[in-house]
Amino acid sequence: MAHENHEKAIKQVYIGLGILAVITLIEVGVSLFGKGHIIDGVESNTWVIYIAALLIIGLSLYKAKFIIYEFMHMRYEVPGLIRSVLLPVLLLVWAIIAFFLEGDYWKEKRNKVKVRNEMPAEKLVPQGMLDYEWSKEDLQ
């Protein structure tokens, strides 16, 4: 009986290898497709890039879950351990949203600084920054 279980467990491991290998190949395929390496020209559609990115992220998360649950044997741990290890990871959801918004803000600000640097100097010097009345064109 114990011997049979062992054989079964070994088989499971090699099935796992197959699953991870196939997912990795699909990921690389989708990534190259999204960049227009397989069919030329698809990369000019923004939605193709977004769908490819979402697919790749989804597959990576599945790979991560598979490694944690099957290879690291999280499946056999008690629910308390699973929660205490995996729930804190949810904090990252907000970190990702917050820092990506922040990155976007940096980009916006950098553009604004670039525009202001290119503004003609005589407009600024006599009046000073605070007194000058900004028009919409100045700021864009």
Based on CB atoms, which residue is closest to other proteins, 55 or 124?
55
Supply 113's token pair: 């600084």
Identify residues 48-67 at the interface with other proteins (CB under 8 A): 53, 56-57, 60, 63-64, 67
- Radius of gyration, alpha carbons of the chain: 26
- Burial tier of 103 (Cβ tally within 10 Å: 0-12, 13-18, 19+): exposed
Residue 24 lies near other proteins (rule: CB under 8 A): yes
Q: Which residue has the tokens 């351990």?
A: 81
Task: Check if the beta carbon of residue 42 is closer than 8 Å to that of residue 33.
Answer: yes
Residue 38 lies near other proteins (rule: CB under 8 A): no
Q: Which residue has the tokens 């999204």?
A: 34
Q: For binding to other proteins (CB under 8 A), which residues are involved?
A: 6, 9-10, 13-14, 16-17, 20-21, 24-25, 27-28, 31-32, 35, 37, 43, 53, 56-57, 60, 63-64, 67-68, 71-72, 77-78, 80-81, 84-85, 88-89, 92, 95-96, 99-100, 102-104, 106-107, 110
